[in-house]
A and B are shown apart, each in its own frame.
Chain A
Amino acid sequence: MTGPLLEVEALSVAFGPKLNPVRAVDAVSFTVNAGEAVGIVGESGSGKSVTSLAILRLVPDPPGRIVGGRIRFAGADLLSLPPARMPEIRGRDIGMIFQEPMSSLNPVMTIGDQITEAVMLHERISARRRRALALEMLDLVGIPNPAERFLSYPHQFSGGMRQRVMIAMALVCRPKLVIADEPTTALDVTIQAQVLALMNRIRSTFGTAILIISHDFGVIAEVADRVVVMYAGRIVEQGDVRSIFRHPAHPYTRGLLQSIPRLEDDRRRLYQIPGSVPAPGARSAGCPFCPRCPDRLPICANAMPPMAEVGPSHHTACWTNPGASVAGAQ
């Protein structure tokens, strides 16, 4: 074992004018091991999608730019690679699945050609091999009648089928890592269940590592081994999936988990976190959750708590965690 497959270290992404930038992602560090599924969960403005775009160096510049940190993938330092090398990584080594399959698919290209396009970019294959590969991928993701379907166009597919095509495209080069940004958010719940089951099956079949980004704790619980919770551009907590759901350590994670409506209980009132997510740019020096936090201490408004251990493979950035002052003193 030579370390994690993906290692994000102190990544920061800023938007807006250089003189008055807004940090959308602020000193974010986490890892994804080979074959592991990691979920990033957060509400709008948490920086979870920008983090995933930054890994692929797809942050639109301007207005955004990576202003600090390192991203190592399979031994390569992605941020120091010449931009021309990135297309080799994207698609071949890292597959991508986005929320909006319709806008990510080419409307005037057949499904079969789109699925195999990534392979054509990276190697020369015969037309016959290309067709066989497209059929194999369509079958893998559970599209009925692949032989008829691979000549269809995206508009002839339903939302769920388009998302299956996206998954086939992401997997065609057998990447080591798939980044899935809200892969089921636009889908109906019965179709979502199909797509999540497919993602889990693919992972167990090919050992593909998955980085899944979602606002939905239910989706994260379904797929991830480890969970990273983001709030206002910062990681507030990370740990293995059971620790996060059973023993959430950060007041934000606790509040969020309590405020989720659940199928198995019918409390009339839901727990509510007061206030709303701060606008980017309106953040202070201290913990970004401080103004909404029920457990805040005097120090919280002035200093960002360091990430400290709360249990085995479970860390949080909160001053209420006794480990925080120790870590801060170091």
Chain B
Amino acid sequence: MTPPLIRLDEIAKSFAPPGRFGIIDRGRPVRAVDGVSFEVQAGETLALVGESGCGKSTTGRLILRLLEPSAGRIFYEATDLTALSAGAMRGMRRHLQMIFQDPYGSLSPRRTVAEIIAEPLDAHGLVGSRAERRERVMALLGQVGLSPEHASRYPRQFSGGQRQRIGIARALAVGPRLIIADEPVSALDVSVQAQIVNLLQDLQESTGVAYVFIAHDLAVVRHIADRIAVMYLGRVVEIGEKRRIYAAPHHPYTQALLSAVPQPDPDVRGRRIVLEGDVPSPTDVPVGCRFHTRCPLATELCRHETPLLREIAPGQSAACHYARPNPISLAA
């Protein structure tokens, strides 16, 4: 049995409360991620989904140690990433890369596309000669659907979709085994979004790279993910194979989230579970099940006891006291 490519073991991240007027405010810390565990296998796509403040982006950054976890461990195969020095971690980024939502903000405006893509190659000492570097850059441009004449241009000369292609080429340059993609298509127009989703899938097929695909759009996720982890207020509430999650969501939050997606079909209008209220603040997480303040099924038990993630069906786990192999459906 080969170990998973990535394994998170009870990862947590708290942020100090914001100071006021430069004075340290001794308020409650923000528990952005609070005990998250999951695995990512080589070559698969795990989607992290949830609404703003659920901790999905923070989790992605913790895996690359762009943020330092407050507790827990992260393994890349047999290596404990949380125990590595900063220098050793930099070396690890050869295997672990990231693409961002905002291609405008993540590309240096003063560098040409060739310089942007070659930077990680140089940083990891992967190319010897200039000719070799140039050849590698051209190959990467081709892989992401850009042409050789784009190499000498600057990011501002590209559309949003093309800039996202540049970001993908840069991440791909070092031949990573995992790419954390943080909302990579959220800022793009629908027609361009489809192009990028297809490109990411083609690249996975040709290179075997695994993705942690962070998204709020459950429809996009349906097309790209193998497995899905649904997050709410810093914890995973349900995780499992894509088909199972969409066909039989067990956690009431997953059910509500799926039902809330507006469908491009006028005949399904109005048939949804509308949750009451807002997501509570992560500085003031509800006791017991975090979802109980909005859950239509919540009972006394939910207000006191935190449900743990447990297997409900093969390949599907949910953190709900009332999750059963035959799910209770809110929609019924």
Q: What is the interface of chain A, defined by CB distance below 8 A to chain B?
A: 43-44, 144, 158, 160-161, 188-194, 196-197, 200, 215-222, 224, 241-242, 245, 255-257, 259-273, 276-277
B265 near A189 with CB under 8 A, answer no
Q: Does B242 contact A (CB under 8 A)?
A: yes
A241 near B194 with CB under 8 A, answer no
Distance from B275 Cβ to chain A, minimum over Cβ atoms (Å) = 5
B275 near A194 with CB under 8 A, answer yes
B194 near A268 with CB under 8 A, answer no
Residue of B nearest to A257 (CB): B264
Task: Contacts A43-B190, A188-B51 given; indicate if A272 touches B269 (C-beta within 8 A).
Answer: no
Task: Contacts A222-B269, A261-B197 given; indicate if A190 touches B275 (C-beta within 8 A).
Answer: yes
Q: Does B193 contact A (CB under 8 A)?
A: yes
Q: Does B222 contact A (CB under 8 A)?
A: yes
Distance from A289 Cβ to chain B, minimum over Cβ atoms (Å) = 11
In the assembly, what is the distance between CA of A201 and CA of B256, in Å?
20
Residue of A nearest to B267 (CB): A242
In the assembly, what is the distance between CA of A197 and CA of B263, in Å?
14
Q: Does B260 contact A (CB under 8 A)?
A: yes
Q: Contacts A192-B260, A221-B262, A270-B197 given; 5 further ones with Cβ under 8 A?
A: A259-B194, A262-B222, A263-B218, A266-B222, A273-B194
Query: Across the interface, which residues of B come within 8 angstroms of A265, CB to CB?
Result: 222
In the assembly, what is the distance between CA of A18 and CA of B331, in Å?
57
Query: Across the interface, which residues of B come within 8 angstroms of A224, CB to CB?
Result: 266
A190 near B51 with CB under 8 A, answer yes
Within 47-67 of B, Cβ neighbours of A (below 8 Å) are at 51-52
A218 near B222 with CB under 8 A, answer no
B201 near A269 with CB under 8 A, answer yes
| Per-position 1/0 for B31-73, Cβ under 8 A of A | 0000000000000000000011000000000000000000000
In the assembly, what is the distance between CA of A146 and CA of B104, in Å?
41
Distance from A244 Cβ to chain B, minimum over Cβ atoms (Å) = 9
A272 near B219 with CB under 8 A, answer no
Q: List 15 A-B contacts (CB under 8 A).
A: A160-B278, A193-B275, A197-B270, A197-B272, A218-B264, A221-B263, A245-B266, A256-B190, A260-B264, A261-B217, A262-B219, A263-B263, A269-B201, A272-B195, A273-B191
A158 near B161 with CB under 8 A, answer no
The size of the chain B interface, using a CB distance under 8 A, is: 47
* Best-surrounded residue of A241, A255, A261 (most CB of chain B within 10 A): A261
In the assembly, what is the distance between CA of A301 and CA of B196, in Å?
28
Contact of A261 among B51, B219, B275, B276 (CB under 8 A): B219
Distance from A200 Cβ to chain B, minimum over Cβ atoms (Å) = 7
Query: Across the interface, which residues of B come within 8 angstroms of A262, CB to CB?
Result: 219, 222, 263-264
B278 near A191 with CB under 8 A, answer yes
In the assembly, what is the distance between CA of A193 and CA of B190, in Å?
20
Task: Contacts A43-B190, A188-B216 given; indicate if A218 touches B261 (C-beta within 8 A).
Answer: yes
Task: Contacts A259-B194, A270-B223, A276-B159 given; indicate if A215 touches B189 (C-beta within 8 A).
Answer: yes
CB-CB nearest 10 A-B residue pairs: A218-B262, A188-B51, A217-B264, A259-B194, A270-B194, A193-B260, A43-B189, A261-B219, A273-B191, A272-B194
Q: Does B257 contact A (CB under 8 A)?
A: yes
Q: What is the interface of chain B, defined by CB distance below 8 A to chain A?
A: 51-52, 159, 161-162, 189-195, 197-198, 201, 216-220, 222-223, 242-243, 246, 256-270, 272, 274-279
Query: Across the interface, which residues of A come within 8 angstroms of B191, CB to CB?
Result: 43, 255-256, 259, 272-273, 276-277
Residue of B nearest to A195 (CB): B274
Residue of B nearest to A262 (CB): B219
A219 near B262 with CB under 8 A, answer yes
Distance from A83 Cβ to chain B, minimum over Cβ atoms (Å) = 34
Query: Across the interface, which residues of A come within 8 angstroms of B276, CB to CB?
Result: 194
Task: Contacts A190-B257, A261-B217, A266-B223 given; indicate if A222 touches B274 (C-beta within 8 A).
Answer: no
A215 near B190 with CB under 8 A, answer yes
A263 near B246 with CB under 8 A, answer yes
Query: Across the interface, which residues of B come within 8 angstroms of A216, CB to CB?
Result: 262
In the assembly, what is the distance between CA of A245 and CA of B263, in Å?
11
B219 near A263 with CB under 8 A, answer yes
In the assembly, what is the distance between CA of A276 and CA of B162, in Å?
9
B262 near A196 with CB under 8 A, answer yes
A259 near B278 with CB under 8 A, answer no
Distance from A41 Cβ to chain B, minimum over Cβ atoms (Å) = 10
Query: Across the interface, which residues of A come within 8 angstroms of B223, CB to CB?
Result: 261, 266-268, 270
In the assembly, what is the distance between CA of A308 and CA of B233, in Å?
52
Query: Across the interface, which residues of A come within 8 angstroms of B217, CB to CB?
Result: 261
Distance from B232 Cβ to chain A, minimum over Cβ atoms (Å) = 10
B261 near A263 with CB under 8 A, answer yes
B278 near A221 with CB under 8 A, answer no
In the assembly, what is the distance between CA of A261 and CA of B276, in Å?
27
A218 near B263 with CB under 8 A, answer yes
Query: Across the interface, which residues of A come within 8 angstroms of B274, CB to CB?
Result: 190, 193-194, 197
B266 near A261 with CB under 8 A, answer no
B261 near A189 with CB under 8 A, answer yes
In the assembly, what is the distance between CA of A277 and CA of B216, in Å?
25
Distance from A96 Cβ to chain B, minimum over Cβ atoms (Å) = 22
B266 near A189 with CB under 8 A, answer no
